Amino acid sequence: MARVPVALAAALVLTGLSPVADAVPDDEWAVCDRIAAAHPSPPDGAVVVEPVDSAVQQATAAHPAGTTFWLAPGTHTLGDDEFGQVMPKNGNVYLGAPGAVLDGRDVNRYAFTGEATGVVLRNLAVRNFAAPRDEGVVNHDSGDGWLIEHNTVEDNRGAALMAGNDQVVRGNCLRNNGQYGMNAYKRGGLRGLLVEGNEITGNNTDDWENQTPGCGCTGGVKFWAVDGADVRDNWVHDNRGAGLWADTNNNDFLIEHNLIENNDAEALFYETSYNAEIRDNVFRGNTLVQGRRFADRGDDFPVGTVYVSESGGEPRVPARTDLLDIHHNTFDGNWSGITLWENADRFCNSPANTSTGHCTRLVAEEHQCSQPAIAQKPLRDDCRWKTQRVDIHDNRFTIDPAALNCDTLCGRMAVLSNWGTYPDWSPYMGKAVQQAITFEQQNRWHHNTYVGPWTFTPFDRSRVLQPAEWQAEPYNQDVCSAFTLLPTTC
């Protein structure tokens, strides 16, 4: 697949060009239906598995760990039991011949399960498995060290993939699955995830947010408590929900050189998490469905295409950066730009904490966050996830409201919170968090380029500023930035 080198991508942004949109057409990012055929014959020493019902399970059980299996052309099935599944042994390798399909027939729940390590899956088509919500078809039990490469995992229920420690997901087509392309979750958290060169498209076909409003359980990829992830060179598009969603105690992410476009909701949602570098991506045509939904019901919340919720840089959590650094990206034709939000009522042990049972990475046990201790430092600071140390610079934001059929509620940038109201023992009542996120937590925009009529919402949703007001006292934002109708100050 053709790619624009990162250095060139950065240079294109600085010259006003999109690193992907103006240099590489979408079809050069395509993976689905373009995975090259491989393994036309079995490698030396491989066990040949013919497309006979249950043959894959039987061959796996009969051979030792570290065996290579070559699935011959045709449709492979796993029996009529809903729990018919392949349980690899450590180091097993499964290679798909051209035309090899593993088909769950909407009968089997899972394709590959168990906790084996170092498993390799390459050039397989995995279809029609019926995993329940929040569960996955491939690597269902989050085995460590799996290499999942050049596969097509599509038309399944639940998630196409789960994830384990040190997993590599490279060059796959993750398409039209019922919930996620990948659900990167492992009990106790996971580390060392690489997601590279995949096409992640059309996921959440079961429309879970409408089935279970507020579930927070949809999108292209969901990350939960992942420590150390590189997400690069992916085409994440046309998912029914968010494109990429990092939710609850993720840390140390590098999200670079992806094309993220036409997702119904946020292109990137970074929630109650820490320390990330988001660079050299193109965000295009995202959040239009969600933005219009808010506008149609008269909700003036500044919907963000990159939505940072209770997340930011934290030097006390070890990572490659101690910022949430968003730079050298191109935003073109999205509903809006970047929203920095912090719910004043969301903190450890609060009923407003939708990450039920979880606390920040700075507090060992959730029950510590209660009165009277929470009213004093250090717990007053450490019991809440903070949107802090977010550095937004050298990005290009372009919008044409007429093309979006939008009057006033698109084309916004925001840094805000709500008035603290509950629970009644909360130490964050009133405007304390609004004041902090806007003025005290080192959130800053600078050296950006804006094309089109952008407005800015600081402190709370009632304040809607023009660029000159946003740059002036007391906000002092977007120093050395360039606006369509204003000369740059630098």
Distance CA 165, CA 143 (A): 7
Q: Which residues contact 314 (CB under 8 A, 6 or more apart)?
A: 274, 275, 322, 361, 362, 386, 388, 389
- Higher-confidence residue: 114 or 407? 114
Whichever domain contains 108, its CATH number is 2.160.20
What is the structure's pLDDT at 105?
A: 98
pLDDT at 25 over 80: no
Q: Which of 290, 243, 316 is nearest to 406 (CA)?
A: 290
Alpha helices in 114-252 (DSSP H): 208-211
Residue 333 · residue 404 · CB < 8 Å = yes
Determine, yes or no, domain membership for 257. yes
What pTM value is reported for the model?
A: 0.93
What is the structure's pLDDT at 28?
A: 85
What is the structure's pLDDT at 217?
A: 84
Distance CA 240, CA 220 (A): 8
pLDDT at 16 over 70: no
What is the structure's pLDDT at 24?
A: 54
pLDDT at 3 over 60: no
What is the structure's pLDDT at 354?
A: 87
What is the structure's pLDDT at 407?
A: 84
DSSP for 363-388 reads: -S-GGGSSTTGGGSTTHHHHTS----
* pLDDT digits 0-9 by tens, 347-370: 999 999 888 889 999 998 889 999
- Which range is least confidently modeled, 30-44, 160-174, 366-380, 476-490? 476-490
Determine, yes or no, domain membership for 416. no
- Which range is least confidently modeled, 76-90, 158-172, 356-370? 356-370
pLDDT at 14 over 50: no
Cα radius of gyration (the chain): 23
Quote the percentage of the chain above a pLDDT of 90: 88
Residues in a beta bridge with 373: none
Q: What is the mean pLDDT of residues 455-473?
A: 97
Domain that includes residue 273, residue range: 28-402
Determine, yes or no, domain membership for 450. no
Determine, yes or no, domain membership for 474. no
Please report, for residues 13, 34, 42, 314, 450, the alpha-carbon distance to residue 328 in angstroms, rounded to integers and kept in the order given. Answer: 6, 30, 45, 22, 13
Whole-number average pLDDT of the chain: 93
* pLDDT digits 0-9 by tens, 49-74: 999 999 999 999 999 999 999 999 99
pLDDT at 95 over 80: yes
pLDDT at 4 over 80: no
Determine, yes or no, domain membership for 18. no
Determine, yes or no, domain membership for 481. no
Q: What is the mean pLDDT of residues 406-425?
A: 95
Determine, yes or no, domain membership for 302. yes
Residue 42 DSSP one-character state = P
* pLDDT digits 0-9 by tens, 196-223: 999 999 999 999 888 888 888 889 999 9
Determine, yes or no, domain membership for 421. no
* pLDDT digits 0-9 by tens, 282-331: 999 999 999 999 999 999 999 999 999 999 999 999 999 999 999 999 99
Residue 335 · residue 358 · CB < 8 Å = no
Our count of domains for the chain comes to 1
Q: What is the mean pLDDT of residues 101-130?
A: 98
Q: What is the mean pLDDT of residues 458-472?
A: 96
What is the structure's pLDDT at 408?
A: 85
